[in-house]
C-alpha cells in the first residue's frame, strides 16, 4: 500500500541528503507552485495527469496540492510528478470558524463571512490508509460528516428554489457526486462535494433543460437580475452569488469545526499549519489582515509558523508588502495559484493581471517551498521537520533563521534529488 515515504525511494537516506545539501546552492531557484486543487476537488483540471503535464510544459519543477478532506489522489500525483521530473508537495485545506471573531464581526481570509478562516496544512505525510492515525481519522470524519450533511441539504434546497422559479430541476447529493465521478473518473468514496460542484451541476442541468433561445429570460427570472454573461463559469458564479450565499434562498448554514480541531488535524496528518493570506484579494482588506504587524501577532499567537499568498489575487506591491513583513517576522512564506475555478490560468504563480512577482519575493517563496519539502521528507522518514507533532518549531538551533536556513538546504537537496531521479532535467 502506497504512503508518502514511498515518494523518496531511491533518492538516498537522511545522511546522503545532508551531504547533497552541502553541495546544493540555496539561491538556485526552481519554478514552484505550492498550492493547487486537484480533482475530485473542484478544479480547473479534469485529471491529475493534466495538471502535472501542464506544470511540466510550463516549466514547473515543484508542485503542491492542497485538497479538501480526501487525499487518495496523492498517489497519482506522486507517480505523475515522478514521470515528469517534478517534486510534489502534499497538503490540505480546512475551513474553520473562530466564534469570538465571528461575534466581533472580524473578517479573516474570507471577505463575506466574519470569523471564517481557511487554514492550510503543508507537507502532510500521514494521510494514507497505512499511516492515518485514529486521531486523524476521527478528526477528519467529523469534518467530512458535517460538510456532507450540509451539501446534501443545499443540493435539495437549490433544486426546490430553481423549480419554483420556472426550471423543473432534479438535484441531489448523489446526482452531484455522479457528475464528479463521470468527469474525473474517480471513485465515489473519494468525493467530497463543494458548493462549486453544486453550482456546476445546477448550471449544466439548466443548460440542458432550457432551450438556448429561452435561456436569458429563464436565468433572469431565476436570479432576479439579468446575467451579464451566459457562459458556464459565469452562470455558476451567479448561482452561488444569487442563490447559495448567506441570506440567499438556497443557503444552508455552515457547520464548521473550530480552529483547534482544524489545527489538530493538520498536525495529526504530519503537516505544518499555514495561514493563507487573502490581502488585497479583498477590497477593502479584511480587518484581521489589514495591518501586517497585527497579522504577525495574531498568527504567532495561534502557533502558526507558515503563511501563504495566492499572488494572482494581489498586486505586486501588496504581494511584496505581505511577503516581506511575514518573512521578516520569522515565518516561512509559500505561494500558489489554487486553480479552484474552471479557468486554466498559468501554472507558475504571478501577480494580478499577469504582473511578474518581484525577484526578492520569488526568493522568499522558493525558500518556503524548500522548507516544506524538507519537512515532508524528514517526517516521512520518522524524523522531525519544521514543526514537531505539537506544532512547535523543532530542533536545537541558535535562532529561527538558522532553522530555516538548514531546512532550506535540506529541502533544496530533496527537490534536486527528486528531479534528478527522473533523468529528464540533466
pLDDT band at 82 (very low <50, low <70, confident <90, very high): very high
In a domain, 253, yes or no: no
> Comparing C-alpha atoms, which of 232, 233, 140 is closest to residue 190?
140
308 plus 386 within the same structural domain: yes
Look at residue 285 and tell me whether its pLDDT is greater than 90: yes
pLDDT tens profile 243-269:
999 899 999 998 899 999 999 999 999
In a domain, 77, yes or no: yes
Return the pLDDT at 111. 93
**Helical ranges in 58-166 per DSSP H:** 74-84, 99-103, 134-164
pLDDT tens profile 59-73:
999 999 999 999 999
Look at residue 212 and tell me whether its pLDDT is greater than 80: yes
Average pLDDT for 362-368: 97
Look at residue 425 and tell me whether its pLDDT is greater than 70: no
Look at residue 327 and tell me whether its pLDDT is greater than 60: yes
Place of cell 501577532: 297
pLDDT band at 24 (very low <50, low <70, confident <90, very high): confident
379 plus 315 within the same structural domain: yes
* Count of structural domains, the chain: 2
Return the pLDDT at 395. 79
Output the nine-digit C-alpha cell for 238. 451567479
The lowest-confidence range among 37-41, 146-150, 392-396, 398-402 is 392-396
| Structural domain harbouring 367 | 4-21+30-132+269-422
In a domain, 386, yes or no: yes
Return the pLDDT at 12. 87
Look at residue 392 and tell me whether its pLDDT is greater than 60: yes
400 plus 286 within the same structural domain: yes
413 plus 277 within the same structural domain: yes
Average pLDDT for 27-49: 94
The lowest-confidence range among 25-39, 332-346, 404-418 is 25-39
Q: What is the mean pLDDT of the chain?
A: 95
In a domain, 251, yes or no: no
The contacts of residue 312 (CB under 8 Å, 6+ apart) are: 337, 338, 345, 349, 350, 351, 352
Return the pLDDT at 424. 66
Look at residue 426 and tell me whether its pLDDT is greater than 70: no
Place of cell 434546497: 157
417 plus 279 within the same structural domain: yes
pLDDT tens profile 97-131:
999 999 999 999 999 899 999 999 999 999 998 99
Q: What CATH number did the domain enclosing 68 receive?
A: 3.20.20.140
Average pLDDT for 152-161: 97
Return the pLDDT at 97. 96
Q: What are phi and psi of 387, to 5 degrees?
A: -120, 155
pLDDT tens profile 394-408:
778 889 899 999 999
In 3-state terms the chain splits into helix, strand, coil percentages (rounded to 5) of 50, 10, 40
Q: Are 22 and 416 a contacting pair, CB within 8 Å?
A: no
> Comparing C-alpha atoms, which of 2, 10, 1 is closest to residue 414?
10
> Comparing C-alpha atoms, which of 113, 34, 47, 54 is closest to residue 77?
47
In a domain, 48, yes or no: yes
Strands 257-258 and 272-277 turn out to be: unpaired
Which carries the bigger pLDDT value, residue 138 or residue 129?
A: 138
pTM of the predicted model, to two decimals?
Answer: 0.94
In a domain, 13, yes or no: yes
418 plus 273 within the same structural domain: yes
In a domain, 263, yes or no: no
CA-to-CA distance for 8 and 10, rounded, in angstroms? 6
119 plus 147 within the same structural domain: no
Return the pLDDT at 325. 98
CB atoms within 10 A of CB 109: 20
125 plus 152 within the same structural domain: no
Look at residue 25 and tell me whether its pLDDT is greater than 80: no
CB atoms within 10 A of CB 114: 19
273 plus 126 within the same structural domain: yes
Average pLDDT for 144-162: 96
Return the pLDDT at 28. 79
Return the pLDDT at 310. 98
pLDDT band at 1 (very low <50, low <70, confident <90, very high): confident
Amino acid at each position: 500500500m502506497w504512503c508518502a515515504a514511498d515518494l523518496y525511494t531511491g533518492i538516498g537516506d537522511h545522511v546522503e541528503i545532508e551531504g547533497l545539501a552541502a553541495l546544493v546552492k540555496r539561491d538556485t531557484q526552481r519554478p514552484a507552485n505550492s498550492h493547487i486543487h486537484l480533482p475530485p476537488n473542484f478544479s480547473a483540471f479534469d485529471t491529475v495527469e493534466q495538471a502535472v503535464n501542464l506544470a511540466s510544459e510550463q516549466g514547473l519543477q515543484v508542485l503542491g496540492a492542497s485538497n479538501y478532506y480526501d487525499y487518495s489522489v496523492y498517489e497519482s500525483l506522486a507517480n505523475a510528478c515522478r514521470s515528469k521530473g517534478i517534486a510534489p508537495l502534499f497538503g490540505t485545506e480546512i475551513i474553520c470558524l473562530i466564534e469570538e471573531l465571528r461575534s466581533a464581526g472580524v473578517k479573516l481570509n474570507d471577505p463575506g463571512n466574519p470569523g471564517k478562516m481557511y487554514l492550510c496544512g503543508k507537507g502532510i505525510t500521514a494521510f494514507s490508509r497505512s499511516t492515518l492515525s485514529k486521531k486523524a481519522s476521527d478528526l477528519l470524519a467529523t469534518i467530512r460528516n458535517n460538510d456532507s450533511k450540509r451539501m446534501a441539504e443545499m443540493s435539495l434546497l437549490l433544486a426546490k428554489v430553481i423549480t419554483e422559479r420556472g426550471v423543473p430541476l432534479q438535484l441531489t447529493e448523489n446526482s452531484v457526486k455522479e457528475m464528479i465521478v463521470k468527469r474525473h473518473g474517480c471513485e465515489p468514496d473519494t468525493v467530497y462535494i463543494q458548493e462549486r460542484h453544486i453550482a456546476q451541476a445546477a448550471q449544466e442541468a439548466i443548460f440542458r433543460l432550457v432551450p438556448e433561445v429561452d435561456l436569458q429570460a429563464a436565468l433572469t427570472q431565476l436570479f432576479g437580475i439579468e446575467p451579464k454573461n451566459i457562459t458556464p463559469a459565469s452562470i455558476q458564479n451567479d448561482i452561488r452569488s444569487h442563490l447559495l450565499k448567506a441570506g440567499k434562498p438556497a443557503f444552508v448554514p455552515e457547520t464548521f469545526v473550530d480552529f483547534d480541531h482544524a489545527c489538530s488535524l493538520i498536525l495529526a496528518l504530519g503537516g505544518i499549519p499555514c495561514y493563507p493570506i487573502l490581502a488585497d484579494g479583498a477590497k477593502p482588506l479584511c480587518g484581521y489582515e489589514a495591518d501586517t504587524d497585527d497579522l504577525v501577532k495574531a498568527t504567532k499567537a495561534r502557533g502558526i509558523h507558515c503563511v501563504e499568498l495566492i499572488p494572482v489575487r494581489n498586486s505586486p506591491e501588496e504581494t511584496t508588502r505581505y511577503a516581506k513583513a511575514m518573512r521578516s517576522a520569522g515565518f516561512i512564506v509559500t505561494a500558489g495559484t489554487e486553480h479552484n475555478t474552471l479557468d486554466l490560468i498559468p501554472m507558475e504563480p504571478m501577480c494580478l493581471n499577469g504582473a511578474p512577482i518581484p525577484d526578492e519575493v520569488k526568493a522568499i517563496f522558493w525558500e518556503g517551498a524548500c522548507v516544506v519539502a524538507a519537512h515532508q521528507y524528514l517526517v516521512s522518514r520518522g524524523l522531525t521537520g519544521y514543526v514537531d507533532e505539537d506544532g512547535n518549531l523543532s530542533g536545537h538551533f541558535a535562532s529561527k533563521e538558522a532553522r530555516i536556513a538548514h531546512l532550506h538546504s535540506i529541502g533544496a537537496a530533496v527537490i534536486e534529488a527528486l528531479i534528478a531521479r527522473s533523468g529528464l532535467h540533466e
